[in-house]
Homo-oligomer: A and B are copies of this chain.
Amino acid sequence: MRDLLIELDRDSPKSLQSQLREVLVSAILAGHLKPTDKLPSTRHLSRQLRISRNTSVLVYQGLVEDGYLRTSQRSGYYVNETVLEMGVHRSARSIDEALEAPTETIDWAARMKKFPGGQANISKPKDWRKLPFPFIYGQPDQKLFPITDWRDCVYKSMSKQWLDAWTQDTQNDDDQMLVEQIRTRILPRRGILVGEDQILVTLGAQQSLYTAASLLVDSHTRVALENPGYPDARNIFALRTDRITPQPVDRDGLIVGENLRDIDILYTTPSHQLPTNVTMSPQRRRALLERSREEDFLIIEDDYELETNYVGEPLPALKSSDRDGRVIYVGSFSKTLFPGLRLGFVVADAPLIAEMRALRRLMVRHPPMNNQRSTAFFLSLGHYDVFVRRLHRTYHQRWKTMGEALAKHLPQATVSRGQGGSSYWVELPEGSTAPADQIAKAALAEGILIEPGKVYFTGPCGEYSFRLGFSSIEDDVIETGIERLAHVIAQHSVN
């Protein structure tokens, strides 16, 4: 016991009780406290660590209950000798020392059939929360999250009565309560009315896309993608086919022109084009649906920010006008609830959903049932709607502030926007001498985080564009941030 150094961190978010328990459990399991070792008295420990006697007593008692310690009448607490009875912590490498030979190394590159690690993708600095002007995209504003309501729903879902619902391996099935909420509460807002057999819960839009691509794309499949567009979608398809054709976008969204010929699948983001944020006009939508019939291609509609429209009536999803099942609709809770939860859903024809479900079984079985049930409660008790309204008000305000600040401080830049979303897409003014990644670097030195746009483009373009997210920046610093950014941009341009 004498060399067991216990240090408690009073600035840590962990309680002193948790910290003390953790240290003691670790010491016991790692063998630093040996079976039958006597522990210091609670009085002694409390004095030594400057913690309340109560804390030591509670930790010791918890460890006795759990079998780590035992008490011996009047003489105090001892490490329980049965605690390591399962013969844990063997030293490794005992099977066969004869196998110990000069280590060969595996040539992994030669064994692998795919190299997703080499793909270009969005990256974000880990410590972005410390920046004064985080124009980051896709990260939640913690201050808006109704943590009490969420905790309440999590707690409800963990009750004994529901144990069955969240502890079981359901193999194929989703939480019925969640599916029903998606079907009757979320989808009708996007104009989509479907049956249960047309809905699959997924680990976010990411898994919806990956699963659809796994079933529908091989090396012969011709895929059309918006350009600029979502890099993760491009990356998913690029693992399977080289036959990818980028499709240009203008202020009305994806251009439905002669180029949408001879394709099998189109991936599109009509509500808020990713990354330019423009909203596809009703005329374009109509033309797109007509074209998809004529050319007999499928449409994957990624409605990733499905509840952020600030201008007028939101347009219903393409899927709501789908007559023959061509549209595979992808929705997500990442932008409303929180992205760390990884929950989304896909809506498509029943035969496709059935195969997606079977494939999901092989991939991950199903999204965790505890999270499905907590989310179902959050929806059914109306907390989701309250939260979405709050997000909506806050984002709407930031969206206006952003728009005004951009018009004021960067009037020469081209700013595109649609009916909503949580970001702006900006093209540097004429006369800029540095590409956006260089501007981003210079801005970061001033505490301003922006996202260079190149990664969204297929081919060598987009070097002078960038994205400004506003889901995680306070309204009252937006203007200063844009002003300083304009200053950085001005330093990198002629006249």
Q: Tell which of B22, B170, B307, B339 touches A381, judged by Cβ atoms closer than 8 Å.
A: B22
Counting CB contacts under 8 A, is A132 at the interface?
Answer: no
> Would B368 and A341 count as touching, CB distance under 8 A?
yes
> In the complex, which residues of chain B have a beta carbon less than 8 angstroms from the beta carbon of A236?
362
In residues 107-124 of chain A, which contact B (Cβ within 8 Å)? 108-109, 111-117, 119, 121-124
> In the complex, which residues of chain B have a beta carbon less than 8 angstroms from the beta carbon of A164?
129, 142
In residues 271-290 of chain A, which contact B (Cβ within 8 Å)? 282, 285-286, 289-290
> Would B382 and A366 count as touching, CB distance under 8 A?
no
In residues 356-407 of chain A, which contact B (Cβ within 8 Å)? 357-359, 361-371, 377, 380-383, 385-386, 388-389, 392
CB distance from A8 to the nearest CB of B (A): 15
> In the complex, which residues of chain B have a beta carbon less than 8 angstroms from the beta carbon of A363?
203, 206-207, 210, 363-364
Interface core residue of A235, A339, A355, A363 (most chain B CB under 10 Å): A363
Question: In the bound complex, how far is the Cα of B140 from the Cα of A67, in angstroms?
Answer: 22
Counting CB contacts under 8 A, is A442 at the interface?
Answer: no
Question: In the bound complex, how far is the Cα of B361 from the Cα of A232, in angstroms?
Answer: 9
> In the complex, which residues of chain B have a beta carbon less than 8 angstroms from the beta carbon of A22?
380-382
> Would A204 and B365 count as touching, CB distance under 8 A?
yes
Q: Tell which of B113, B207, B218, B309 touches A217, judged by Cβ atoms closer than 8 Å.
A: B113
Counting CB contacts under 8 A, is A192 at the interface?
Answer: yes
Q: Tell which of B83, B92, B193, B315 touches A191, judged by Cβ atoms closer than 8 Å.
A: B92
Counting CB contacts under 8 A, is A151 at the interface?
Answer: yes
Counting CB contacts under 8 A, is A435 at the interface?
Answer: no
Question: In the bound complex, how far is the Cα of B119 from the Cα of A142, in angstroms?
Answer: 44
Counting CB contacts under 8 A, is A491 at the interface?
Answer: no
CB distance from A284 to the nearest CB of B (A): 11
Number of copies: 2
Question: In the bound complex, how far is the Cα of B289 from the Cα of A247, in angstroms?
Answer: 51
> Would A140 and B159 count as touching, CB distance under 8 A?
no
CB distance from A136 to the nearest CB of B (A): 10
Counting CB contacts under 8 A, is A460 at the interface?
Answer: no
> Would A160 and B147 count as touching, CB distance under 8 A?
yes
> Would B355 and A112 count as touching, CB distance under 8 A?
yes
> Would B185 and A29 count as touching, CB distance under 8 A?
yes
In residues 328-345 of chain A, which contact B (Cβ within 8 Å)? 334, 338-343
Counting CB contacts under 8 A, is A171 at the interface?
Answer: yes
Counting CB contacts under 8 A, is A314 at the interface?
Answer: yes
> In the complex, which residues of chain B have a beta carbon less than 8 angstroms from the beta carbon of A166?
338, 340
> In the complex, which residues of chain B have a beta carbon less than 8 angstroms from the beta carbon of A9?
none
> Would B142 and A232 count as touching, CB distance under 8 A?
no
Are A342 and B316 CB-contacts (below 8 A) given A68-B382, A115-B355, A214-B114?
no
Closest B residue to A87 by beta carbon equals B313
Q: Tell which of B29, B85, B316, B383 touches A94, judged by Cβ atoms closer than 8 Å.
A: B316
> Would B92 and A188 count as touching, CB distance under 8 A?
yes
> Would B192 and A167 count as touching, CB distance under 8 A?
no
> In the complex, which residues of chain B have a beta carbon less than 8 angstroms from the beta carbon of A341?
167, 368-370
CB distance from A327 to the nearest CB of B (A): 10
Counting CB contacts under 8 A, is A411 at the interface?
Answer: no
Are A206 and B362 CB-contacts (below 8 A) given A115-B355, A189-B89, A382-B21?
yes
> Would B116 and A286 count as touching, CB distance under 8 A?
no
Counting CB contacts under 8 A, is A3 at the interface?
Answer: no
CB distance from A142 to the nearest CB of B (A): 5
Which stretch from A36-44, A97-105, A248-256, A422-430 is at the chain B interface? A97-105
CB distance from A336 to the nearest CB of B (A): 12
Question: In the bound complex, how far is the Cα of B164 from the Cα of A461, in angstroms?
Answer: 34
CB distance from A63 to the nearest CB of B (A): 8
> Would A338 and B167 count as touching, CB distance under 8 A?
yes
> Would B103 and A324 count as touching, CB distance under 8 A?
yes
Chain A positions 51 through 66: 1 when the CB is less than 8 Å from some CB of chain B, otherwise 0: 0000000000001001
Counting CB contacts under 8 A, is A6 at the interface?
Answer: no
Interchain residue pairs A-B with the least CB separation, the first 5: A13-B161, A169-B339, A25-B382, A340-B369, A116-B358
User: Can you pick out 21 interface pairs between chain A and chain B where the beta carbons lie within 8 Å of each other?
Assistant: A18-B377, A25-B385, A86-B389, A90-B188, A90-B191, A93-B316, A93-B321, A95-B282, A96-B286, A111-B264, A113-B218, A116-B355, A116-B361, A117-B357, A129-B164, A140-B168, A165-B340, A210-B362, A232-B361, A232-B362, A339-B365
